Amino acid sequence: MRSAYHEQLDQFDDGLVRMTTLVNAAMIRATNALLDADLELAESVIAGDDQIDALAHDLEDEALQLVALQAPVATDLRVLLSGLRISASLERMGDLAVHVAKAARLRYPATAVPSELRQVIIDMGEVAERIVQRTGEVLADRDATKAAALAIIDDEMDSLHRQLFNAVLSDDWSHGVEAAIDVTLVSRYYERFADHAVTIGKRVVHIVTGEPYSTAGIE
């Protein structure tokens, strides 16, 4: 009974890691759809979000059943309750990939990204890929040190966000208001994507150490 129960706990963890893989794939495809104005790819990201939502929903049910049937304590309980919030963050990261894909769809057949900002978006996509990959490792290994280090990758994203802002607000900006809003919102989606990874990291630190994380900036 207990061993079946611990199997269920491991399955729950695996589910969270699987979500990071789906979210990562979604954001990679959304970034490519945005850069290449690839409508089909954008649509596939938008349609694929149901799979991420369904997995989050299944994990929520699993956690609820485990808590109800097993009344776990200490670390196990923290894993399940924090896991509920981690799955919510991952689900939201999937939604942000959808927002990027919708930005691509909105401007199709044109691209929403002016050529001089192409590299910044490429870099943001790369940072997004790295931070969610690392988040998956953090969840798999329950590594509090790695978890705390997610904030360093997030700093890279914030600096890219500022870089894009400065470009849009510079006197050289020649693409008008609509393009400025497009890229600013897209940039914000990547920034929030990385913020959620940092939040997940804080929750893993909480799981491992049992210390209450500061809720400041937990979103």
Nearer to a copy of itself by C-beta: 96 or 124? 96
CA atoms within 13 A on the CB side of 142: 14
C-alpha distances (whole Å) from 81 to each of 20, 77, 88, 206 are 18, 6, 11, 11
Contact assessment for residue 135 and residue 150, using Cβ atoms and an 8 Å cutoff: yes
- For a copy of itself, what does the binding mask look like between residues 138 and 157, x meaning CB under 8 A? --------------------
Sign of CA dihedral 192, 193, 198, 204: positive
**Is residue 35 classed as helix, strand or coil in its secondary structure?**
helix
SS (H, E, C) 185-198: HHHHHHHHHHHHHH
Of these, 7, 14, 50, 137, which contacts a copy of itself (CB under 8 A)?
50
Span 158-197, contacts to a copy of itself by CB under 8 A: 168-169, 173, 176-178, 180-181, 184-185, 188
Task: Return the number of the residue (35 or 88) whose C-beta is nearest a copy of itself.
Answer: 88
Q: CB under 8 A: which stretch of 6-14, 36-44, 69-77, 112-120 binds a copy of itself? A: 69-77
Length of the chain counted residue by residue: 219
Is 121 a binder of a copy of itself (CB under 8 A)?
no
Which of 171, 25, 7, 180 has the alpha carbon at shortest distance from 103?
Answer: 180
User: Residue 47 interacts with a copy of itself (CB under 8 A)?
Assistant: no
| CA 61 and chain centroid, separation | 21
Q: Does 92 bind a copy of itself (CB under 8 A)?
A: yes
Report the alpha-carbon distance of residue 119 to residue 59 in Å, rounded.
37
Q: Tell me which of 14, 116, 137, 219 binds a copy of itself, using CB under 8 A.
A: 219
- If binding is defined by CB under 8 A, does position 7 make contact with a copy of itself? no
Which range touches a copy of itself (CB under 8 A), out of 40-48, 68-76, 113-121, 151-159? Answer: 68-76
Residues that bind a copy of itself (CB under 8 A): 49-50, 53-54, 56-57, 60-61, 63-64, 67-68, 71, 73, 77-78, 81, 84-85, 88, 91-92, 95, 168-169, 173, 176-178, 180-181, 184-185, 188, 212, 214-219
